[in-house]
Amino acid sequence: MNKRLHIQDLGRKDYKETWNYQEQLFKEILDLKIRNRRESLDLKTPNHFLFVEHPHVYTLGKSGDMANLLVDEKILEEKGAAFYKINRGGDITYHGPGQIVGYPILDLDNFFTDIHKYLRYLEEMVILTLADYDIKAERSPGETGVWLDVGTPFARKICAMGVRASRWVTMHGFALNVNADLGYFDMMIPCGIKGKAVTSLNVELGKKEVDLEEVKQKLLKHFQVLFEIES
């Protein structure tokens, strides 16, 4: 088992380029696992964690409904936004400037083979990070991601999640709104869930802007503890 983590911050990067890079890392781990099995080897598989900030883009998961995108291509073009159908779980989501996107590409054989637990750990990482800012975040039953004021008329989502896994190797991940332009969420039904609002950390704190690098470090710290990452 290898519990070390290779961390990369890609800065602001095109969604498709990042998706291709994820696929490359994902395939390298899968190929190594297949080789280990076929040749009775015990080569350690790597684990990656990518931070990235995307230009405006909407992505639709493999089980998603196109009807949840509320505008046509012309309006997307006017707004400078791209659109992709992708191979993660979940419905439609938005990525854009001011949002921290994290892609853990892990071999869960190095940690635990339980996708449900994996998603709960990602949620817990975000919940603990928001607690560092004195914000009480929580899970919403049956709705993956992180929310505020669950069970009230003011329920709002602050972090979306969607993952893909094959042979216990993960890709895709989470998107935490930190300084996000919430107007872009009006052009879709977020995650296909009607009647639920979306928020951002800066809005909740009443600030114009929150330090993205500080939030990344807090996320990483909690991730490393939860997954018992070795240095």
Q: Report residue 188 as tokens.
A: 């879709």
Q: How far is CA 72 from CA 79, 114, 163, 191, in A?
A: 11, 38, 26, 18
Is residue 159 annotated as a catalytic residue, yes or no?
no
Q: What is the mean pLDDT of each run of 10 residues along the chain (231 residues)?
A: 97 96 98 96 97 94 85 87 85 92 98 97 98 97 93 94 94 97 86 76 97 98 98 85
Residue 194 is predicted with a pLDDT of 63
Q: Which positions make up the binding site for substrate?
A: 88-95, 160-162, 173-175
Q: Report residue 105 as tokens.
A: 């590409």
Identified catalytic residue from 130, 150, 176, 191: 191
Domains, the chain, ranges and CATH?
Answer: 6-226 (3.30.930.10)
Buried b (16+ CB within 10 A) or exposed e, 204-215: beeeeebebeeb
Residue 190 is predicted with a pLDDT of 65
Q: Which positions make up the binding site?
A: 88-95, 160-162, 173-175
Residue 191 is predicted with a pLDDT of 59
Name the burial class of residue 99, with classes exposed (0-12), middle (13-18) and buried (19+) by CB atoms within 10 angstroms of its CB: buried
Residue 91 is predicted with a pLDDT of 81
DSSP, residue by residue, 17-70: HHHHHHHHHHHHHHHHHHHHHHTT--PPPP-EEEEEEPSSEEEE-TT--GGGB-
Residue 188 is predicted with a pLDDT of 83
DSSP state of 125: H
Residue pair 89/174 in contact by the 8 Å Cβ criterion:
no
Residue 195 is predicted with a pLDDT of 65
Site of tokens 């015990």:
42
